[in-house]
A and B are shown apart, each in its own frame.
Chain A
Amino acid sequence: MADAAASDARRRPAPAQDTQPADSSFDAGALQLALAAPASLAVRWRPWLLLAAALTSALLCLAVMRLVAGLPAVPGVWVTGAQGTLVLAASPLDELQLHIGRGLVALRLPDGSELRADSGLQRRLSRWIVDDVERSNYVARADQLAMALAQPNLTLRMDDGSLVRVAPKPHGVGGLGPLFWVFMALAAALQWTAAAVLVARPQLRNALYALMALAQSGNLMLIAEQSVPGLGAPLAPNSSALWHMALDFVTAAAAVHAFALHPRRLAEARKVALLAWGLPIFLLALALGGQLPGLWWWTQGVTLGMGVLAVAVLTRSYRAEPHPFALVLRRFSLLAVASLALSTLVMADAAARAPGARDLAAVGALAWTLLFAALLLLVPFVARGRALTRELLLLATVGLVATTLTLLFVAVGVGEPSALVLSLVLTLALHAAARPWLLSGLVGGAPTGSERSFEQLYRAASEVRRQPSRLAEPLGRLLTELFDPRDLQQLTRPSSRARVLGDGAALLVPVQADGAPPTTLLLRYARQGRRLFTVDDARLAERIADQLRRAVAYDLAVERGRKEERQRIAQDLHDDIGARLLTLMYQAQTPEMEDYLRHTLLDLKTLTRGLAATEHRLSHAAVEWKRDVGQRLEAARLRLEWRFEFDQDLTLSVVQWSALTRVLRELVSNTIMHAKASRVEIVCNIERGALSLRVMDDGVGRAPQDWSHGLGLGGVRKRIKQLGGEVRWRENGAQGIICEAEVPDLMPRR
């Protein structure tokens, strides 16, 4: 069995479960309604209700403390000696100081009757006495002891024959022992948690959790009473076993009932609840009537059975809707059931052995109760923070395992020191093995390694830079990669900050893109429903969104700076060097020199334009190439036939644009200068990013393989190679030359 449907829902409106039992536990529409709802009366009364609950709990604890402190006892520390004798280890009474180390044989009452004394007189948890006969013996002797201690004074007969007269007196608040306070504190903590959960959202599921927590706190208070040291009368020995049983049954029934309602309401919730409550109540009635032989076996059997039922209910719930909370609850339940089964085995085994082993085994049962209380305390906080949850859980589990193992070894006859060492080694090994499961599996580990996160962040940032208004898409993809949710939605409403909803089922992340209305991303069921969103995740998501915005802003600033710098260099080059080249050109002595300088000037202009602009549309570049080539050929009295086809208007990078511009210019210049042609045909075709360019003339050029490639054609070769392509020249039929250039990929790089 395990724990409840508590929610971490404090200060948060309820999801839509109650109104739409058949639907998912989370619904955006209902969420919006809930968010818009003003603070209700209940919210304003919340602090007062909590205060009242805390006061009630304190008063209850105080009453229990006073009751226990008022029970009469023979003060002192009594330990179990060899053969089950009761040995005095320490005592605050002067008359007993002399007899420390002696065994107590009997208590002699004022009327002369004697009560035989052995370790069986010490307080025990009657709930954990396996054998019915032994339990009734214990109860009978406890009653006798209570009667004996009620006398004004009695005589202790020690094993050395000496008689000591003592007056029994109440334990007093100071004599309750440290364990008592620890258990009481834990009980109080459970009561407070129950109250807080119930006040946060008064509904059936939370009431069931509160019931479980209160039942377990009752159990803890009973245990606290048993832990008081000294030879004293236990409180209500004959009914405490039944009390324990009733409390455990209530816890188990409430758990099964709650799981049928949360995180998803099952169709057969009513039947499950009926079964969960009916069976224990029937058994309890039988036990009250004394009609139940083997009480311990029944208690353990039913509790374990209910635990298995709880696990089954959760499995079904998870199949119906992959709410990660169901998974967490199921793991908690499995842990509790498995440890209970282990404790039961140890107890059953120890029952057949020496009384010493039996007492130790009782401590194991106690450890189980502690583990269970810890789990119960954890549940409301699972989605709050991962670190706290896992540490507490690890502590409780390891503590329980260590205790149980020690007891097991002692029970099977290993000496106590060896048992301690053995169990320590085994515990460490178990801890190492279970740690990954506990740390990552239970509530889900850290989303992704930071290195990978950075890479994803960088990719998303460059994407956002291209389209700042569409921040939501890359952010959504980033969060999807991080959390692997089952679904991701974009809600068209703003929200102030990232939040976890529905007990960690959903995460809301606000998106504030430049130039777009604020929206909200809704992620549901992390890691395909195997992991809960935690508050840490919300903070992480917020930081990521923030980082993304900052990365983009930084990127833009860098890009702007680079662009300004490039433009400045381009301006300087163009104005200064351009003017000088122009002067030189005007003063050129020969037409060749003039052409050479003009060419240089044109190259300079291409270069500076390339520097100033960042990218060129293919369609724009094509018309400029055509005009440029056309003008130059016209001036040289050459006819141009131009065909330029493309399937997609690519964006050329500066490198691509300037390379192609200069290749075309060079090829045309070459034809004008050397070919003595009458017409030039230029055919360019760009299909799926692959360029094929042919420049054909009808001139006098022949045998291109024998050409010596000077600056011009060498430059063409170099630039086409720079674009990852190839160029070759061949003869054009009977007259002229064809230059063919192929570039396989002009697609923009991402």
Chain B
Amino acid sequence: MTVKVLILEDNPVARGFLGRVVRESFSDPIAITEAGDLETARRHIGLTGGARGLHGVDPFKLILVDLELPDGNGMELLAELPQYPATKIVTTLYSDDDHLFPALQCGADGYLLKEDRFEVLVEELQKIVRGQPPLSPAIARRLLTHFRPGGGSDANAPDGSFVHTSGFQTSRPVALEKVPDHERLTPRESEVLTYLSKGFTIKEIASLMGIKWFTVNDHIKSIYKKLNVSSRAEAAVLASKQGLV
């Protein structure tokens, strides 16, 4: 079956390059849809079942989004598609956490730096799709602050008037700060994040913690999901405050 891919990128040369990266990465037949701006991208997504992708016959499986676009920021599109059943990847020139962290919060499953070599990009893309998203030390630092009880955006999070997605709950007692359980990191996840923020590679972390490297990857995936949950929770709070829900 053909895998549908959407590449949102305003630079035609880069679009072509990313297309080659995608084709190289997967053995399945690929159908690439290209968009040069947000509006075109929205139209294509609308044709394949809309933001929730529920009624679509054949939604995109993979979406690559550039951040700086002629009619806005790629993050806007990500924010519109929290439920869309595709792997969403940010492709950008920005490698600082000030740009990448918000993108992750908006629901990006990973990010690729466009200046990387072709082979590196192929490898990274495969990892992300397999569920091994990268996590840079700077982002790990930001995540630690984000999930610290009482720190970062957690302080504003209310206790659960929003939809629980799935079971990340731990059996630990509820802390004084009333942070919802599903937003907390498990001790293992915190440990992984701490090592990441100190610049250790996944293999190094695995040997330090005495676990398999793919277990480390599972923790990272879980952290990613919690990040999205927390951002979605914030969106829900915002919506209820504005009387939208």
A residues at B contact (CB < 8 Å): 574-575, 578-579, 582-583, 585-587, 594, 598, 601-602, 605, 609, 620, 622-624, 626-627, 630-631, 635
Q: Are A586 and B17 in contact (CB under 8 A)?
A: yes
Q: Are B14 and A586 in contact (CB under 8 A)?
A: yes
**Residues from chain B with Cβ under 8 Å of A575 in the complex:** 68
User: CB within 8 A of B198: which of A583, A605, A623?
Assistant: A623
Tell me whether A583 and B14 are in contact in the complex, defined as CB-CB below 8 angstroms, given that A575-B68, A623-B197 are known contacts. Answer: yes
Tell me whether A582 and B115 are in contact in the complex, defined as CB-CB below 8 angstroms, given that A575-B68, A605-B95 are known contacts. Answer: yes
B76 interface residue (CB < 8 Å to A): no
B138 interface residue (CB < 8 Å to A): yes
Q: A583-B13, A620-B137, A624-B138 are in contact. List 11 more A-B contacts (CB 8 A).
A: A582-B115, A585-B115, A586-B13, A586-B14, A586-B16, A601-B93, A602-B115, A605-B115, A620-B141, A631-B120, A635-B120
Tell me whether A583 and B137 are in contact in the complex, defined as CB-CB below 8 angstroms, given that A574-B93, A624-B199, A626-B199 are known contacts. Answer: no
Tell me whether A601 and B115 are in contact in the complex, defined as CB-CB below 8 angstroms, given that A609-B96, A620-B141 are known contacts. Answer: yes
B55 interface residue (CB < 8 Å to A): no
Distance to closest chain A CB from B99 (angstroms):
10
> Which B residue sits closest to A575, measured CB to CB?
B68
> Which A residue sits closest to B96, measured CB to CB?
A609
B80 interface residue (CB < 8 Å to A): no
Docked CA distance A605–B197 (Å): 21
Docked CA distance A459–B204 (Å): 47
Digit string of B200-238 for contact with A (CB within 8 Å is 1, else 0)?
010000000000000000000000000000000000000
Q: Are A623 and B115 in contact (CB under 8 A)?
A: no
Would you call the interface of chain A mostly helix, strand, loop, or mixed? helix
B136 interface residue (CB < 8 Å to A): yes
Distance to closest chain A CB from B243 (angstroms):
37
Q: Are B136 and A627 in contact (CB under 8 A)?
A: yes
User: CB within 8 A of B137: which of A578, A585, A623?
Assistant: A623
Distance to closest chain B CB from A660 (angstroms):
15
Docked CA distance A586–B68 (Å): 18
**Which residues 1-46 of B sit at the A interface, judged by CB distance below 8 A?**
11, 13-14, 16-17
Docked CA distance A609–B119 (Å): 26
**Residues from chain B with Cβ under 8 Å of A623 in the complex:** 137, 197-199
> Which A residue sits closest to B138, measured CB to CB?
A624
Q: Are A582 and B14 in contact (CB under 8 A)?
A: yes
B117 interface residue (CB < 8 Å to A): yes
Distance to closest chain B CB from A624 (angstroms):
6
Tell me whether A635 and B96 are in contact in the complex, defined as CB-CB below 8 angstroms, given that A620-B141, A623-B198, A627-B137 are known contacts. Answer: no
Docked CA distance A620–B137 (Å): 8
Docked CA distance A535–B55 (Å): 84
Tell me whether A578 and B93 are in contact in the complex, defined as CB-CB below 8 angstroms, given that A623-B137, A626-B199, A627-B137 are known contacts. Answer: yes
**Residues from chain A with Cβ under 8 Å of B115 in the complex:** 582, 585, 598, 601-602, 605
> Which A residue sits closest to B140, measured CB to CB?
A623
Please, could you name 14 A-B residue pairs with CB atoms under 8 Å apart, sorted by A? Answer: A575-B68, A579-B11, A583-B14, A598-B115, A601-B93, A605-B95, A623-B137, A623-B197, A623-B198, A624-B136, A626-B199, A627-B136, A627-B199, A635-B117
B61 interface residue (CB < 8 Å to A): no
Distance to closest chain A CB from B122 (angstroms):
11
Distance to closest chain B CB from A111 (angstroms):
116
Distance to closest chain B CB from A385 (angstroms):
56
**Residues from chain B with Cβ under 8 Å of A627 in the complex:** 136-137, 199
- From A586, A602, A605, A630, name the one whose CB has the most chain B CB atoms within 10 angstroms: A586
Q: Are A582 and B114 in contact (CB under 8 A)?
A: yes
**Residues from chain A with Cβ under 8 Å of B136 in the complex:** 624, 627
What class of interface size applies to chain B in its complex with A?
A: 20 to 34
**Residues from chain A with Cβ under 8 Å of B117 in the complex:** 594, 598, 635
Distance to closest chain B CB from A707 (angstroms):
26
User: CB within 8 A of B119: which of A579, A622, A635?
Assistant: A635
Distance to closest chain B CB from A638 (angstroms):
14
> Which B residue sits closest to A580, measured CB to CB?
B11
- From A578, A598, A623, name the one whose CB has the most chain B CB atoms within 10 angstroms: A623
Docked CA distance A630–B138 (Å): 15
Q: Are A582 and B93 in contact (CB under 8 A)?
A: yes
**Residues from chain B with Cβ under 8 Å of A586 in the complex:** 13-14, 16-17
Distance to closest chain B CB from A190 (angstroms):
72
**Residues from chain A with Cβ under 8 Å of B137 in the complex:** 620, 623-624, 627
**Which residues 113-137 of B sit at the A interface, judged by CB distance below 8 A?**
114-115, 117, 119-120, 136-137
Distance to closest chain A CB from B236 (angstroms):
33
**Residues from chain B with Cβ under 8 Å of A574 in the complex:** 93-94
Please provide the 3 A-B residue pairs with the shortest distance between their CB atoms, ordered closest to farther. A623-B199, A623-B137, A626-B199
Distance to closest chain B CB from A286 (angstroms):
89
Q: Are A583 and B11 in contact (CB under 8 A)?
A: yes
Q: Are B197 and A582 in contact (CB under 8 A)?
A: no
**Residues from chain B with Cβ under 8 Å of A582 in the complex:** 11, 14, 93, 114-115
Q: Are A630 and B13 in contact (CB under 8 A)?
A: no
**Which residues 77-118 of B sit at the A interface, judged by CB distance below 8 A?**
93-96, 114-115, 117
> Which A residue sits closest to B17, measured CB to CB?
A586
Distance to closest chain B CB from A657 (angstroms):
13
Docked CA distance A609–B96 (Å): 8
Distance to closest chain A CB from B197 (angstroms):
7
> Which A residue sits closest to B16, measured CB to CB?
A586
Docked CA distance A628–B136 (Å): 10
- From B114, B138, B141, B199, name the one whose CB has the most chain A CB atoms within 10 angstroms: B199
**Residues from chain A with Cβ under 8 Å of B68 in the complex:** 575
Distance to closest chain B CB from A622 (angstroms):
7
Q: Are A579 and B93 in contact (CB under 8 A)?
A: yes
> Which A residue sits closest to B114, measured CB to CB?
A582
> Which A residue sits closest to B95, measured CB to CB?
A605
Docked CA distance A158–B64 (Å): 133
**Residues from chain A with Cβ under 8 Å of B14 in the complex:** 582-583, 586
**Residues from chain B with Cβ under 8 Å of A578 in the complex:** 93
Docked CA distance A582–B18 (Å): 12
Digit string of B152-187 for contact with A (CB within 8 Å is 1, else 0)?
000000000000000000000000000000000000
**Residues from chain B with Cβ under 8 Å of A622 in the complex:** 199
Distance to closest chain B CB from A628 (angstroms):
9
> Which B residue sits closest to A583, measured CB to CB?
B13
Docked CA distance A622–B198 (Å): 9
**Residues from chain A with Cβ under 8 Å of B17 in the complex:** 586
**Residues from chain A with Cβ under 8 Å of B120 in the complex:** 631, 635
Docked CA distance A504–B34 (Å): 82
Docked CA distance A609–B120 (Å): 23
**Residues from chain A with Cβ under 8 Å of B141 in the complex:** 620
Distance to closest chain B CB from A25 (angstroms):
51
Distance to closest chain A CB from B134 (angstroms):
9
Distance to closest chain B CB from A672 (angstroms):
11
Docked CA distance A585–B119 (Å): 15
**Residues from chain A with Cβ under 8 Å of B114 in the complex:** 582
Docked CA distance A630–B201 (Å): 9
**Residues from chain A with Cβ under 8 Å of B138 in the complex:** 620, 624
> Which A residue sits closest to B68, measured CB to CB?
A575
**Residues from chain B with Cβ under 8 Å of A635 in the complex:** 117, 119-120
Docked CA distance A738–B138 (Å): 30
Distance to closest chain B CB from A573 (angstroms):
11
> Which B residue sits closest to A640, measured CB to CB?
B201
**Residues from chain A with Cβ under 8 Å of B11 in the complex:** 579, 582-583
